[in-house]
Chains A and B, each alone.
Chain A
Amino acid sequence: MRKAANDISRCVACGVCALQCPRGAIDIYRGCYAVVDVKTCVGCGICEKACPAGSIRVKETEEASK
Chain B
Amino acid sequence: MKTKAKKGHWYDYLWIWSIVYFALGFFNILFAWLGLIDFVLPLIFAIVGGNKWFCNHMCGRGQLFWVLGRNLKCSRRKQAPKWISSKWFRYGFLTFFMTMFGTMIFQTYLVFSGAESLRKAVKLFWTFKVPWKWAYNGSVFPDWVAQFGFGFYSLMLTSTLIGLIMMVLYKERTWCSFCPMGTMTQGICKIKAKEKEIDHDVK
Contact = CB atoms under 8 A, between A and B. Distances in A.
Interface of A: 10, 12-16, 18-19, 22-25, 28-32, 37, 39-40, 49-55
B182 A14 contact: yes
8 contacts: A10-B86, A12-B90, A12-B183, A13-B189, A30-B193, A31-B192, A32-B186, A54-B85
B19 to A, nearest CB: 20
Contacts of B6: 22, 24
A18 B56 contact: yes
Contacts of A15: 52, 55-57
A31 B57 contact: no
Contact of A52 (B45, B174, B196): B174
B: interface residue count bin: 35 or more
A14 B56 contact: yes
B51 A53 contact: no
Contacts of A24: 3-6
A24 B23 CA distance: 35
A40 B66 CA distance: 25
B31 to A, nearest CB: 27
Given A10-B82, A14-B62, A28-B51, 18 more contacts: A10-B85, A12-B176, A14-B182, A15-B55, A15-B56, A16-B172, A19-B57, A24-B3, A28-B52, A28-B56, A31-B190, A32-B186, A37-B1, A40-B3, A50-B172, A52-B173, A53-B177, A54-B85
B18 to A, nearest CB: 16
A49 B173 contact: no
B170 interface: yes
Nearest to A25: B3
Nearest to B175: A52
Contacts of B189: 13, 30-32
B171 interface: yes
A41 B1 CA distance: 10
